[in-house]
Structure 1
Amino acid sequence: MRKTSVTIDVWDKWIRVFHWGLVAAILLSFYTTKTRGVPFLFPIEVHAQAGYLLLGLLVFRWLWGVMGSVYARFKTFLYPPGETIAYSKALLKRQPGTYASHNPLGGWMTLVMLLSLSFQAVSGLFLSDDIFFQAPLYGLFGDGVSSQLRSMHQLNSDLLIILIGLHLVGLVVHRLMGEPLVAAMLAGTKHFRQLPVDARNEPLNAATLRLRALGALLIAAGVALWLWFY
């Protein structure tokens, strides 16, 4: 019997640029918390600049999650608790459904990571190293709030390491299940033997999508540039 296959364009180019830009910004951000001047003369400033880029990327993603392409929207991959629990049980039995976008667990994991990254980027705007550097909003709510945010910023960085670790484990698990997610995030397409559970046929006008992308990019770039040159 001949096997059929389904190819779906899942991740649009804007999501792919966002994803790999996010990876670069996170790596640079973490690296500059550990380095002592190599190769950067003032690592704390580079760390802050990576944070501004990160915040700009996140602004774009939050906007694109509302008005972007169908598989980029939050409403596509955030499922009610009942469906998430049912998927988890099926996964434990090695009988999970096939999804084009994030599966129920992956969708909530994505939301948690976006929230954690957003808190990290925003809280960093209120910090100072007490020597050479002060972030754009340092002192806006007083030294007490800045001190509390510094502690939370450090704790959240530990949480982010855990979340990133879980994300990498998830990539390996999906690869073992025959779903190469890294390749999909590079090419934008996924291949299936049957129609996935969340298959959508809601094409948006290409011109409309470009205008939305342009609007989201302008807002995100405006935020990042304002912080950079503040």
Structure 2
Amino acid sequence: MASPEAGVRAKLWDAPVRIVHWLLVVLVAFSWWSSEDHLNWHRWSGYAILGLVLFRIYWGFAGGGAARFASFVKGPGAVLAYARGLPQRAAAAVPGHNPLGGWSVIAILAVLAVQVTTGLFAVDVDAFEAGPMSDRVSFETGRAIAEVHELSFRALQALLVLHVAAVLFYLFYKRTNLIRPMVTGWRTFPQDPGLAGAPAWRLVVGVVLAAAIAWFVSKGLRL
């Protein structure tokens, strides 16, 4: 078998994917820190996360190469087949997320979507702090949504722990560095994976749409 280190160096992750990834890392940590005593910052961090999630969903369809959902969201058969090979020490140079990692990405995006959506309607116990759309629901419903907001964050924490554990598993057991490509964008493959990029106009459209929707939501869907 050809060593990945002796193969072809090719672009794996484009700049939009990498920027969204690391901004989410920073903003989720910031949202956690600001959730108690800095709720105004917490809200703005949530709006930024909403924009990033919207853009990543858009880019999963409009982006190129490994950014597209179609490139890494696989069926149960592919996931099980990949899982059976996990005990093997050698790791194939998969062009993008592997079948398990792909569903991890979908799960994290889904829980983040629940987080920001529930935050829009949540009300604190004293009704002093509330999301921009909390006036659309009763106080009791707002409190129930706030509980879901808290529970979904616990689910997000669990998913992120599993995500980090998987990265470390690949780094130390399978000798595959998944962090470097998410920083530089490049990875070495046995052969050129042929990952095509997306035109710049799609990026511009996605950024404008995501920012506009996040801003509109921050205003409670009021102009």
Deviation, structure 1 residue 144? 3.6
Look up the match of 2:147: 151
Look up the match of 2:175: 178
Detail structure 1 runs of 4+ shifted over 6 Å in the superposition: none
RMSD in angstroms over aligned alpha carbons? 2.0
- The answer as to 2:10 corresponding to 1:8 is yes
Gaps of 5+ in 1: 37-42
- Retained in 1: the 8 A contact 2:20–2:52? yes
- Retained in 1: the 8 A contact 2:12–2:195? no
Q: Deviations over 1:106-158 (max 9, x none)?
A: 00111001100111011100012234322111031333432221111111111
- The answer as to 2:161 corresponding to 1:165 is yes
* Structure-2 change in CA distance of 1:172 and 1:202 (3 Å): closer
- Retained in 2: the 8 A contact 1:8–1:100? no
Measured in 1, the distance between the counterparts of 2:105 and 2:113 equals 12
Measured in 1, the distance between the counterparts of 2:217 and 2:128 equals 17
Measured in 2, the distance between the counterparts of 1:211 and 1:66 equals 14
Q: TM-score, normalised by structure 2?
A: 0.89
- The answer as to 2:90 corresponding to 1:89 is no
Q: TM-score, normalised by structure 1?
A: 0.86
Look up the match of 2:201: 211
Deviation, structure 1 residue 23? 1.0
Measured in 2, the distance between the counterparts of 1:92 and 1:20 equals 29
Calculate percent identity across the aligned residue pairs.
29
Look up the match of 1:222: 212
2:35 to 33, 36, 45: 33
Measured in 2, the distance between the counterparts of 1:151 and 1:229 equals 23
Look up the match of 1:191: 188
Higher mean C-alpha displacement, 149-158 vs 137-146: 137-146
- The answer as to 2:54 corresponding to 1:59 is yes
